[in-house]
Chains A and B, each alone.
Chain A
């Protein structure tokens, strides 16, 4: 568990000897708590302090990596219960399950679909991360054949979905250079599974009856064998239980420094209520979601939800500066300018389109700030906006010279007219929601 500066300070000798290079022990403690320096730089640390500080340096939730070639999925190493406290670091990995009892044609169809899922949204690519291969057939050959079929078709890291160590062995042998996830070890097979995971550099999901207690006991036994790349699969009978168990696992590891459950969580969705359960999983601490099946129309909302929840609350999402087409603009369509805060961009473009208009939307580089913040930070002045408009080349695309600015920065209109000779500056509404009435009532009458 991370310690605060003051907690670290209490462990220091408090002699202010300056041998570490800092004027006081308190200054050293602050830097150490911020992980800017190493504890060893203090020559007088007691053994006890070293131990506590050493333990605090180990992340409370272990980072687990699932790999294939240069494709790597990292999960875990989360530090907070609520995203506003810092952020959620590693987004929920999405996996679709392929059943080895299905025939080749069905599997290929499924894989083709998976491959196509690739949406660009707010400057990010949204797609699936993993493929799970399930040993329904119970036939080693079929399992291997399915693995090969997948690997030839698509390069994603795999989850080997089987509780049979023999089947897992042949699967691992098919992909000796990968680091797959084995799903899963239980109270019967765990010794063999742990050996396999160790030998093949895989990570290991563990399943136990008897709630968190069973899970904790199993993870401890595996850890005592010297293996720690563990993923937890808490068995849950209801949505409430998912929410409760996942919350408690996160809380125990972050706030109580409870090591046996300090691992990422996997949620396997068999069939019913997939959509809702996965939405809950995304918000509430599932590191991997495995779908038996997903409907086409569910991908975009789920991937968008994941993008929302895992965005950095301190760092606004940005869109690339440039000229964006809203609808199907022509040379007489209005020109709007605003900042590259992605929410601003989305809302403004939605309102223009929603009003039944097309337009050219110029997005300036305001470091992702909203209009008012960008203006007060000096990143949305008349001069900056004017230069950006000229350099954007918009003048080649339009027959008029009219530009609409956000109402909140009405003050820049004079300066903007100075830096855009020959242009007319229109002050639009303050709120994007008033764009439709502005376009209908003001713009249309004057243009």
Chain B
């Protein structure tokens, strides 16, 4: 007796978004089915992993994560180059942490200079991540957007209370905007509508659903992504955007990756445990639809990259 395989065809499709220039462009999204459901739909583009690079020495990073980058960490340009040359990064995420008023409060001009230099030194597409603090976020992302004009970078992030300046900058300089909302289907949709209402093309929006790390809310992100994706495939045009998940920053600050095995012998080798923590978080998010994962540890990235390859086999 043959089994009739129940195939689901959806009316909706995730928008394909190309990041980068004609020379180095990478396309994500474009799928018309649930994550890795090759048996019933088309998934033209694989999920991409971006290496997180900070604009300042990451003194608060664990040695475990700093060790693979060594001396390169002292110079963000060298760091970005190492990610690309040494670890074959497909994409780099420049985190402009030092511009935050509570940190070094570096100027928007300084950040823009760095963006310009990084773009000229590496040949992979770039994600530019602002400091988050509202006023400064606008200044920094506007200047950096200008510095990267025409390079089709991803600019992170616009939020509901603060999206206009950032969207306008992405509009003016030809970038892609990240729309960040706190783990909620309706808020995600609403922000996409607000941004689109500024005549910004929906095909240049990426959703940041807000990532909870493993053990720290991962299941909330997982389910909200599943719900957004189901609604998008069901035909909701204002949710048919790819997802970006900032994994590394959530994973590498939790207790379970920081405590040494001499304190918790049953937890096992701290370094390997941390790598597993980041990889497990990333894999779970891939299964709920992540299109871009921003990560830190090269070994975790390697594990996830290999898994993406296996999940993309038809």
Q: Which residues of A contact B (CB under 8 A)?
A: 82-84, 116-119, 121, 212-213, 216-217, 238-240, 243-244, 247-248, 251-252, 255-256, 258, 261, 273, 275-276, 279-280, 283-284, 295-302, 304-305, 307-309, 311, 313, 343, 346-347, 349-350, 353-354, 437, 441
CB proximity of B73 to chain A, nearest CB, Å: 19
Near A by CB (< 8 A), chain B positions 153-193 give: none
Known: A297-B272, A305-B284, A350-B254. A276 touches B3 (CB 8 A): no
Q: Which residue of A lies closest to B277 (CB)?
A: A301
Collect the chain A residues with CB atoms within 8 Å of residue B254's CB: 346, 350
CA distance A306 to B36 in the complex (A): 21
Q: Which residues of A contact B4 (CB under 8 A)?
A: 256
**Complex contacts, A296 vs chain B, CB 8 Å:** 266-269
Known: A284-B287, A346-B216. A279 touches B280 (CB 8 A): yes
Residues of B within 8 Å of A118, CB to CB, are: 266
Main secondary structure of the interface of A (DSSP, over half): helix
Q: Find chain B residues with CB under 8 A from A437 CB.
A: 102
**Would you call A354 and B1 a contact (CB within 8 A)?**
no
Q: Give CA–CA (A418, B312) in the complex, Å.
A: 61
A38–B269 CA distance with the chains assembled, in angstroms: 55
Q: Quick one: which of B217, B219, B220, B311 contacts A243, CB cutoff 8 A? A: B311
Q: In the complex, given contacts A252-B6, A298-B268, A343-B217, what are 14 additional A-B residue pairs having Cβ atoms less than 8 angstroms apart? A: A213-B2, A238-B310, A239-B310, A240-B314, A247-B37, A251-B6, A258-B3, A275-B303, A296-B267, A298-B273, A300-B268, A308-B284, A311-B219, A349-B255
Q: How many Å from the CB of B26 to the closest CB on chain A?
A: 22
A216/B215 contact (C-beta < 8 A), A279-B284, A298-B268 known: no
- Contact residue range for chain B? 35 or more
Task: Say yes or no: A239 contacts B226, CB within 8 Å.
Answer: no
CA distance A279 to B161 in the complex (A): 36
The residue of chain B having its C-beta at the shortest distance from the C-beta of A351 within the complex is: B253
28 A-B interface contacts by CB (under 8 A): A84-B223, A117-B266, A212-B5, A217-B1, A238-B310, A240-B310, A240-B311, A240-B312, A243-B36, A243-B311, A244-B38, A248-B5, A248-B39, A275-B303, A276-B283, A279-B283, A283-B222, A283-B287, A296-B267, A297-B267, A297-B269, A300-B268, A300-B273, A304-B256, A305-B284, A308-B284, A350-B255, A353-B255
Cα distance A283–B313 in the bound complex, in angstroms: 19
B284:A283 contact, CB within 8 angstroms = yes
Assembled-state Cα–Cα distance A221/B1 (Å) = 12
Interchain nearest-CB distance for B91 vs A (Å)? 22
Residue in A84, A239, A304 whose CB lies within 8 Å of B311: A239
B230 at the interface (CB under 8 A from A): yes
Q: Is B117 an interface residue (CB 8 A)?
A: no
Q: Which residue of A lies closest to B307 (CB)?
A: A276
A299 surroundings in chain B (CB, below 8 A): 266-268
Within the assembled complex, what's the spacing in Å between the Cα atoms of A309 and B307? 20
User: For residue A437, which residue of chain B has the nearest CB?
Assistant: B102
Interface membership of B84, Cβ < 8 A: no
The verdict on A305 contacting B2 (CB below 8 Å), with A84-B223, A295-B272, A350-B216 known, is no
Complex contact A82–B273 (CB within 8 A): no
Q: Which of A121, A216, A276, A284 has the most CB of B within 10 A?
A: A276
